[in-house]
Amino acid sequence: MNRSHILRASLVAASLVAGLTACDNDKLTSVNVNPNAPETVSSASLFTNATVGSMSALRGSTFEHGTSGVWVQHYSEIQYPEDDLNEPRPSTIELFWTIFYAGTVTGATTGSLQDYNQILLQSADRPNIVGPTLVMRSFLVESMTDMWGDIPFSEAGKALPQLGGNLTPKYDTQAAIYDSIFVMLKQAASIMVPSTDQNSLLFTRFGPADPVYGHNGEDAATEAAQWVKLANTLRARAAMRISDVASAKAKAELLDALAGPVFTSNADNAFMNWPGGTVANPLCLNWIDMNCGGTRDDQRLTERLIDTLKVNADPRLSRYAEPTGASTGTDTGCDLTYRGYPNGHAQPDVINPCDPDQNPFGLSDFSRPTRSIREAGSPSYIMTYSELLFIKAEAAEKGWIAGSAAQFYNDAITASMEQWGVSSAEISAYLARPSVQYKGGAAGMQQIAYEKWISLFNLETEAWAEWRRLDYPLLVPGPDASTAAVPTRLPYPDIETSLNADYLAAAQAAQGGVANTTIEGRVWWDTKAQP
């Protein structure tokens, strides 16, 4: 059995375990269990399950093509526009929270955070197990705190008796959580040193159960080296994320991270490898046209994104968007090859100006995301080389690191385009455009922000976070939206009011009151008002 088949088997097994444990029946809890020899789920299975669960949520269609993708205006919603109207369903918010903390939505009795905690407890003496776990735990908790601000962390994911049995964890401040992220990522990068000695604790690793770097049959040294690079590169992301609110710390963490091994090409890109079949990319599982069992076809690329790409003749347009269903390729005023749907419309009421009866356009008149994003085996990205280069461009512009901000900026665009299969000739033509050439100063920072917004397509949680931090490009809600500004955080789920009310109230008070924990509030690191 090759590694791809082993990984598929691990993923299927994790799914089956999750499904079996979903039976909410006390009579089943003791079936096939020897009370004198309680079973422990292996760290490998826990890691696979936690990573599948967290990536399914963060890169699934509800958040990727819905909430965060809609709010950063890469996507729009036509038939179910609640998120696009800035009115997210309480059930959607609870779904995300529950997957990360409890896992009940996916059928598991424990959430991704608790699975990672369990691994750290039972494999504490195995550095090449602990390292990747710390990295993915850091990635997950950063994604969560960037959504909600202060969240349970130090006491969270510890409901199991062996983890402390805490069902009402306190909320940690976002500043404290970021401190923990830096500690975890630095520790992860420092401890992963593989060994060829099968009797050494350094020999133990996830191998084919690792759905991020174990999917190509890497040897132990390569696998560990990739995780070290990801740890340092994610640390650079976290450092830049807090740069407006804790500049000195951000600079120190960034310099320390860049001093270690980091991504050096697109070959280092970190992504969830979906083997397909029963464990497919969650986007494929959503879309009806992908033959993965999906039922939805109501999300489209936005007018803002497509029109912006057209203005700069950006060759990524054809890599991001499918031609409209009705297009003949003539690209006239009435027959556009690519057309985006505007954000913030309560009804599909975009009128076709070429229709003599003034009927609205149909779904087929707007561009879906390309099939390469939504296929069963399409990767779900954690971080890319392009994003690191944009971080370096910003750091150089701030004077934090040596090197040319313009060169890092050009290299970042190049890496993004190469990732999407753009030719060298197309890249050169794009970089030569006067509107693209780097200006430096405040104008340069806006260029970095804009190009980062474009390049983070298909990493929508990161695109939304970076847009909130950089406040560029200028985004405004659609005409039927319920708020005057694009949402800047998620509200807390209603379930916390019932199950953890005291700590929730304390967290809200610490963040400026209930009003600042609505979708119009701001998380700790988001300090700048939109221009």
Torsions phi, psi for 71 (to 5 deg) = -70, -25
Pull the structure tokens for residue 349.
Answer: 């009421």
Output the pLDDT for position 32. Answer: 41
Q: Where are the alpha helices (DSSP H) in 371-510?
A: 371-374, 385-398, 405-419, 424-431, 441-455, 460-470, 494-499, 501-510
Distances in Å between the Cα of 529 and the Cα atoms of 145, 182, 351, 488 are 20, 27, 34, 11
Q: Alpha-carbon distance 202 to 193, whole Å?
A: 7
Determine the Cα–Cα distance for residues 498 and 505; give it in Å rounded to an integer: 11
DSSP 62: I
User: What tokens were used for 222?
Assistant: 């390569």
pLDDT (0 to 100) of residue 325: 80
**CB 480 within 8 Å of CB 515:** no
- Phi/psi at 321 (5° precision): -115, 145
pLDDT value of position 163: 82
Count of residues in the chain:
531
pTM for this predicted structure: 0.90
Nearest residue to 252 (alpha-carbon basis) of 269, 264, 261, 240: 240
- pLDDT value of residue 105: 35
Q: Is 123 left (phi over 0), alpha (psi -120 to 50) or beta?
A: alpha
- Per-residue confidence of the chain (531 residues) as pLDDT tens digits? 343 433 443 444 344 333 322 333 333 333 344 443 335 799 999 999 999 999 999 999 989 999 999 999 999 998 889 999 999 999 999 988 988 987 533 334 458 999 999 999 999 999 999 999 999 999 999 999 999 999 999 999 888 788 888 889 999 999 999 999 999 999 999 999 876 666 677 678 898 899 999 866 678 888 899 999 999 999 999 999 999 999 999 999 999 999 999 999 999 999 999 988 878 999 999 999 999 999 999 999 999 999 999 999 999 999 999 999 877 667 776 778 999 999 999 887 777 777 777 777 888 889 999 999 999 999 999 999 999 999 999 999 999 999 999 999 999 999 999 999 999 999 999 999 999 999 999 999 999 999 999 999 999 999 999 999 999 999 999 999 999 999 999 999 999 999 999 999 999 999 999 999 999 999 999 997 654
> Between β-strands 171-172 and 299-301, what pairing exists: parallel, antiparallel or unpaired?
unpaired
Angle of helix 112-122 relative to helix 43-58, nearest 10 degrees, comes to 150
Contact 218, 226 (CB under 8 A): yes
8 Å CB contact between 378 and 284: yes
